[in-house]
Structure 1
Amino acid sequence: MSHKLIPTLSAALAIAAGALSPAAPSLAATHPKARHAAPAHKKAEAQAAPAEPGLPADTAVASGAPSLPAKAWLLMDYDSGQVLASANADEPLPPASLTKMMTSFLVEQALRAGKLKQTDLVTVSQNAWCRGSSTESCMYLPLNSQATVIDLLRGIIIQSGNDASKAIAEHMAGSEEGFAKLMNAEAQRLGMTHTHFVNPTGLPDPAHKASARDLAILARAIIHDSADYYPIYAERDFKYNGIKQGNRNALLYTDPSVDGLKTGHTEEAGYCLVTSSHRNGMRLITVILNTHSAQARADETRALLGWGFSSFEKATPIQPNTTVGTAQVKYGKAETVPAVLQAPWTLVVPRGQQVQTAVQLKPELEAPVAKGAVIGKVVATSNGKTVGEAPLVAQAEVERAGFFGRTWQQVTRLFRK
């Protein structure tokens, strides 16, 4: 999502046009009283820019993955979290306003936990206030005014408001620095190992970085844990303080299967986009980092989604409640316990390929064993590549045998050797 404002006639129409026209400029929030037109020679330079070389996948589960002219990109299956293809997935890069996915996620989790209410009022400080310049994206909250938490959440997600992000950060943690600590703690909890946040906005800072894989992990968490608020990520526009601004995710206007998530742009970060698309029972997440235009990030996302949905299909390697193995148990009232899946298990595999499974059970299982305790795992492979794994649990409880029972088992074990 851009921090620079570019003139628009209508937010929705301009974004839709940007999705269809290869020469369309990036759309950013523009205050109606402060419009700034790009110089004609800059427009000509942008239209005459040569095509960027494509970056091929360095990991891919199926053949034919596209090469994309971005510094990093990734395609993930939402249900399993499996990365289907990627390039430079773990390189920490400036995420620009993709940062605000963590900001909005923390707000959503605070709402879920009852720490915030949608109607709570948040004061706009001097630090949070946007002055109406063309240098950053704003919700245009008046100085010293108050806005509800739910309005700020929409301003963060749809309008990419730096003012909204700063105001809620100060409200929740006292300062942007304090909120960044919350962001980093949550990133660590989610397993985002190549990410460090310095602020809630994504404004440039040398230490503010995130990787494509980490941003996909975050997007997956938002979709899974913020179901009540996730529909906001698909909203095309939001009006506040008399100013209506459009969502800059062009795919929301051209692809009905797309329902989120976030755009980003600074000069340092280039044009970035994290997208989620749901088709025929399959949801895919894409990440594009540092490509050369708003049009490019939309086109590259379309290419990834097109390849993903055409190249993969859902598979259920093992049906729920199926006994897939029998684990030996030492010193139990029963000598074995059936192993079953912990939860229903589906995978995304290359179309037309068979899936093989291999069961791995713990060799030294000792009673007592609780029902539902993890006692192994099952690994799925396709065409010689691992495509997923799932935990196996004990189907029943195994109580520990008494003294004489354990002694007898020890004696019989000696004779078996």
Structure 2
Amino acid sequence: MKNKRIFLAKIIVGAVFSLLFSLSASVAQNYQSRAKQAILIDVETGSILFSKDANVAAPPASLTKIMTAAIVFDAIKNGEITLETEYKVSEYAWRTGGAPARGSTMFAALGSEISVENLLRGLIVQSGNDSAIILAEGMNGSVEKFAERMNNFGKKLGLTDFNFVNPNGLPHPDHRISASDLAAIANYIITKHADMYPMFAERSFKWNNIRQSNRNPLLSAPIGADGLKTGHSQEAGYGLIGSAVQNGTRLIAVLMGMKRETDRTVDGRRLLEWGFASFIPTDIISANTHVGSVRLYGADQGRLNVKIGEALTALVPKQSRDSMEGRIVYKGPIPAPIKEGEIVAELHVYSGIRLVVTAPLYAEESIAVGSAASRAISGLGEFFFGWL
């Protein structure tokens, strides 16, 4: 069989699912950001409220450190290490990320041993480049090995536009990640490590008799912000990952490549405020609803019915005019056999050109391998026509 192709089946969501609402693409994208790359998402529904070149990989600077934190959080949860585990400060960590480097540092003393708990606060609150290196060397022996771990973990999380070279975001031509992937990491931390996430809201941390304040400017704004991270380098510009909660709705905003520090402060707050003010949670599809069908290969029947699993909700504009459109997306044709309940496709819901939310689609029945004649017909159709 030839390589599988991406299939799209368009559905007018309002008609198929008898929705009682509509959306306006103009309302959804009327926000203007000075960031080169930006995204705003709703944590509970996964709705994308705003996107600007969000899948373009760019230098993240210290925004990198949320990935380092996520790996450490996972290691603690899995029993690999504890908050009390101590790591020694190597000369490389001290010279590259410590006081001699004159960058962001927790001022870890050369040769001292520091607990994971304090290293995490040095990483998250003080944005210590030395903290990140000490954790990387302690957990995996070297920065290079830890970067390999970061890339493997990124694949596990389903990230698509990234490459990590170090744990702190120090400039390197191959060190890149997209705003969309950074939002996914932040989402992972918030939802999977709720016990550790409050570290991002701590206003200051004192180490080696030096107290430093959290650099996140959103924490002092009255918008419900409680994390995550800032970043800056000449190459990356000014960046910000922020999360806030209002009336039970949590949003995550990522802005990258801004020219001025004040820009990220103002735009970060404005983007979150705009999200809270402009959207409202709305039910889209009830659980176990049939949404359409996908093409099959090597089966006695040509198509397979698919359905949504859990009920699907999204944040939608409060002021709306245009209808929503659902697209069944899959790599196909899908070869038999298939088990009932197996994930075979995705539903992408759009408002105009804006992707609102995605959800997996499940096979409504089991499909056995077809007869020799059916498989032969499928093969001939694929060979001569790409697909019948």
SS at match of 1:275: strand
Higher normalized strand content (fraction of residues): 2
Determine the C-alpha separation between the residues in 2 that align with 1:301 and 1:279: 15
Aligned partner of 1:51 in structure 2 is none
Determine the C-alpha separation between the residues in 1 that align with 2:33 and 2:156: 32
Query: Does residue 1:72 correspond to 2:37, yes or no?
Result: yes
Aligned partner of 2:141 in structure 1 is 174
Determine the C-alpha separation between the residues in 2 that align with 1:144 and 1:60: 57
Give me the CA root mean square deviation: 3.6
Kept in 2, the 8 Å contact 1:260–1:275? The answer is: yes
Shift in CA distance, 148/347, structure 1 to aligned 2, threshold 3 Å: same
Kept in 2, the 8 Å contact 1:357–1:378? The answer is: no
Query: Does residue 1:200 correspond to 2:170, yes or no?
Result: no
Q: Deviations over 1:235-266 (max 9, x none)?
A: 11122233221110011112351111101112
Determine the C-alpha separation between the residues in 1 that align with 2:367 and 2:33: 56
Matched residue pairs, number?
Answer: 342
What displacement does 1:88 show? 3.0
Aligned partner of 2:362 in structure 1 is 393
Kept in 2, the 8 Å contact 1:378–1:390? The answer is: yes
Shift in CA distance, 399/81, structure 1 to aligned 2, threshold 3 Å: closer
Shift in CA distance, 358/76, structure 1 to aligned 2, threshold 3 Å: closer
Query: Does residue 1:343 correspond to 2:310, yes or no?
Result: yes
Determine the C-alpha separation between the residues in 1 that align with 2:275 and 2:197: 23
SS at match of 1:128: helix
Kept in 2, the 8 Å contact 1:95–1:209? The answer is: yes
Determine the C-alpha separation between the residues in 2 that align with 1:361 and 1:73: 25
What displacement does 1:107 show? 0.7
Q: Which residues in structure 2 correspond to 1:248-267 (within 5 Å)?
A: 248-267=215-234
Letter of the structure 2 residue corresponding to residue 195 of structure 1: F
Shift in CA distance, 177/391, structure 1 to aligned 2, threshold 3 Å: closer
Determine the C-alpha separation between the residues in 1 that align with 2:312 and 2:356: 12
Aligned partner of 1:124 in structure 2 is 89
Kept in 1, the 8 Å contact 2:183–2:254? The answer is: yes
Letter of the structure 1 residue corresponding to residue 62 of structure 2: S
Bigger RCO (CA 8 Å, 6+ sep): 2
Kept in 2, the 8 Å contact 1:371–1:394? The answer is: yes
Shift in CA distance, 318/105, structure 1 to aligned 2, threshold 3 Å: same
SS at match of 2:28: coil
SS at match of 1:316: strand
Query: Does residue 1:96 correspond to 2:61, yes or no?
Result: yes
Aligned partner of 1:274 in structure 2 is 241
Kept in 2, the 8 Å contact 1:317–1:380? The answer is: no
Aligned partner of 2:207 in structure 1 is 240
Query: Does residue 1:290 correspond to 2:257, yes or no?
Result: yes
Letter of the structure 2 residue corresponding to residue 232 of structure 1: M
- TM-score with structure 2 length normalisation? 0.75
SS at match of 1:245: strand
Determine the C-alpha separation between the residues in 2 that align with 1:81 and 1:309: 15
SS at match of 2:227: strand
Q: Deviations over 1:297-332 (max 9, x none)?
A: 110111211222222221111223556679999889
Aligned partner of 1:49 in structure 2 is none
Kept in 2, the 8 Å contact 1:94–1:268? The answer is: yes
- TM-score with structure 1 length normalisation? 0.70
Kept in 1, the 8 Å contact 2:294–2:333? The answer is: no
Letter of the structure 2 residue corresponding to residue 267 of structure 1: Q
SS at match of 1:104: helix
Gaps of 5+ in 1: 1-58, 404-417
Query: Does residue 1:141 correspond to 2:113, yes or no?
Result: no
SS at match of 1:180: helix
Shift in CA distance, 192/368, structure 1 to aligned 2, threshold 3 Å: closer
